[in-house]
A and B are shown apart, each in its own frame.
Chain A
């Protein structure tokens, strides 16, 4: 399988806070990789480094064999589309026009019919056609999240970088969006792949080809969901006890039981 992204010895710090430490990873074509870890583990930071939103302190990132820093930003946006956790919007547009922004790397000034049709097809594909001419700022959080995902899909990139794409979605839409993402990258001739930062380990277990478990800025475990999502790893990283059940033949399910209190205090002072 062709290598799409290759990261070697990546380091990133916010001041003295060393977020990513000598991190190595690769992403191959038609692969859906989830990044999981506790808050502040560096999931979002890693995605932002891959999309040149943040500049790493050291290390090397290559996309399709080219060093990331040498790729023009427009060219890069043809290969990578990034969906942030949330977006700040002071001025709103119609949903159609927001999704059309995904075509921006491919067009100059005038919008070709193919670009409009690409947007229309994407809206239908993600069941957003009824929102096409509604204002983006009048949508709910979950609807907005789906629109931004639609923008990323309309961009037609090689790699999708999703930062918690299901955090605002209801249960049905979580499954639906993940199914669509999986479909998009599973087309053998498309050579697409996706890297998804996610908190829901059951969603990650169900849809990922591979899971990266980030802990303290390093990759703690890297492998299939069955290999990575073990009660031992989960306890070590998330401080919770868990049980793995195989209710479905194709994927595992994790039941979180209780927190592990590593620093048990016998004498608690409660201030009211």
Chain B
């Protein structure tokens, strides 16, 4: 084998090792996070031993670990994977490092749906799933409108971003109007929804969300080569390597919207992960989407776990919602990473 080829393989192995290290750190953080809690009859050491299978514990302790803490941790991991993957996909297919899953109308659509359910009481479901169903449906409708309007204008990445910004403003204006006429209770509910919390979905819902997200991951990976071509060289370059940019971009936007909606419909708005995780991954792995997508997913899970654990323990028993925590700790850290690596 050629010496340049050998060096390429070696570089790939080093990057794989870094991703595996991050993966192991994330697993340890998950185990640690499950042991963290305010329950008086369950110290961290016992929790750890129970999670690792060295101790069975009482029925109550088992319920606390597996029915209360585990769904939350699983939701943090799944949410992180989904939002970070969606962020990496969107940034790649639109060739824009500022894009995140929440910037392209998904968040404004979800907020609009939630506002319809909370303020006007309009939803396709009339039970506790009213907000979730509306948020999911409206975010997908908004993305569908953006894709259609983007196609009408032209089929470039910029059209999707511009139409997305316009739709976000319109949806925001409608939500603000509803807030203006809402009661105090409705306003409070809407504000609380927008904070983003991992404890909202129940155990069964968390499993459904996780299955959906993990099920969508192979499809995301399938487009890695296409994303490499699109993000490095733009549309003409991509076509010359056999990629149909219009079709690929549309499919990826739909997939990203699905991954984002399925999470934020249940948790409320959780920003930052979708923007930061892909950028942080780029700093260690580069821009090859075959590695960037899995690395972003692991980074996303790590960030969510870290923020959630901190949010639960920092001012215990007060719990700071993960969405707020992520922005507080993640923003400055992200800025530091970017400035520290400004030389490339």
Contacts and interface: CB of A to CB of B under 8 A. Distances in A.
B2 A97 contact: no
B5 A77 contact: no
B286 A104 contact: no
A19 B82 CA distance: 46
A119 B5 contact: yes
Q: Of residues B239, B240, B344, which shows the largest number of chain A Cβ atoms within 10 Å of its Cβ?
A: B240
B310 to A, nearest CB: 30
Contacts, number: 125
B201 interface: no
A101 B232 contact: yes
B231 interface: yes
Interface string A124-137: 10000100110111
Given A91-B92, A117-B1, A120-B2, A48 B8 contact: no
Interface residues of A, number: 50
Contacts of A81: 240
B8 A89 contact: no
Contacts of B96: 90
A152 interface: yes
A165 interface: no
Interface in B77-95: 91-92, 95
Contacts of B1: 113, 116-117
Interface in B1-44: 1-5, 7-9, 11
A43 B49 CA distance: 71
A75 B224 CA distance: 19
A87 B2 CA distance: 29
B7 A136 contact: no
Q: Of residues B95, B233, B290, which shows the largest number of chain A Cβ atoms within 10 Å of its Cβ?
A: B233
A60 B239 CA distance: 20
Contacts of A97: 228, 286, 288
B205 interface: no
B225 interface: yes
B232 A77 contact: no
Given A91-B91, A116-B2, 15 more contacts: A84-B237, A87-B236, A87-B237, A88-B234, A89-B232, A90-B96, A90-B231, A91-B92, A94-B11, A102-B241, A104-B241, A105-B241, A116-B9, A129-B4, A148-B233
9 contacts: A53-B235, A77-B242, A83-B240, A89-B232, A90-B97, A97-B286, A109-B225, A109-B290, A120-B3
Interface of B: 1-5, 7-9, 11, 91-92, 95-97, 224-225, 228-229, 231-237, 239-244, 282, 286-288, 290, 344
